[in-house]
Amino acid sequence: MYFTAKYKSLYATLYKMSFTLMAVTNMTTVTIADVIVVAVSVLPRPSRRLDLRPRVTLLEMTRAAGSDQKVCKDVEIFTDGSCDTTTGRGGWGYLLRYGDHQKTASGFEPDTTNNRMELTAAVEALSALREPCRVRLMTDSQYLKNAFTAGWLKNWQRNGWKTSSKQPVKNKDLWERLLLLEQRHDLHWSWTKGHAGHKENELVDKLALNARRRGGAP
């Protein structure tokens, strides 16, 4: 109905214009084509095509977006690694804390390094989160923290996973896993000195040490 009325109005306008054109030009016969040529040359062109899509207000868009958004949980993570440099036996441990809920875990590696255990603890802890979270991860490893906060990882990747001395970056496999996990979570790094009486750091240190000593035993 809307378009039928529009076309009737347009036809009536063109019909009136034909008589006006005849009077102005002294033409005895005027075709629709003549009228259209004049109309197109005189009338302002539309700024855009007819848009038949339903209108959505900014408020409606904001409400729709807000309904799909989930509030991220605030999670604290404390990690530590341990390694006997003589035997290569290593262990890792972590503490997850969300509100009043806590979870601890630890693991053993038979032939490893202390740095690998530090990284593994962070990988295991972040992998334990079942959904994207806002995470504050505390470690006593400057190696782990500075790789993210001091731009080491960006430089290594830019250099094709080579250090400033052109040597291959160690533990690339773990760094790549951490980079993927960092994309999933809103991750903030912090550092504490080890063996300095920090309650949570002492706990995860004990977890990693016990896992190392226990080996693969349950």
Task: Give the model confidence (pLDDT) of 53-109 as tens digits.
Answer: 555 554 455 455 544 556 789 999 999 999 999 999 999 999 999 999 999 999 999
Tell whether 61 is covered by a domain. Answer: no
Q: Which one of the listed residues 66, 100, 160, 195 is annotated catalytic? A: 195
Whether residue 123 is found in the same domain as residue 198: yes
Whole-number Cα distances in Å, 142 to 111, 157, 196: 22, 19, 15
Q: Which one of the listed residues 91, 107, 185, 205 is annotated catalytic? A: 205
| Residue 195 a catalytic site member | yes
User: Looking at the 3D structure of the chain, how many domains does it have?
Assistant: 2
Tell whether 206 is covered by a domain. Answer: yes
Distance, in Å, from the CA atom of 187 to the CA atom of 178, rounded to the nearest integer, reads: 11
The pLDDT of residue 217 is above 80: no
Distance, in Å, from the CA atom of 27 to the CA atom of 36, rounded to the nearest integer, reads: 15
- Tell me the average pLDDT of the chain: 83
CA angle 86–88–90, rounded 5-degree value: 125
Whether residue 26 is found in the same domain as residue 81: no
| Residue 88 a catalytic site member | no
Tell whether 57 is covered by a domain. Answer: no
Tell whether 198 is covered by a domain. Answer: yes
Q: pTM for this one?
A: 0.69
Res. 49 pLDDT band, cuts 50 70 90: low
| Residue 80 a catalytic site member | yes
Q: Which one of the listed residues 91, 93, 109, 140 is annotated catalytic? A: 140
| Domain range for 97 | 73-214
Whether residue 190 is found in the same domain as residue 134: yes
pLDDT, one tens digit per residue, over 128-172 is 999 999 999 999 999 999 999 999 999 999 999 999 999 999 999
How many CB atoms within 10 Å of residue 215?
11
| Residue 81 a catalytic site member | yes
pLDDT, one tens digit per residue, over 189-200 is 999 999 999 999
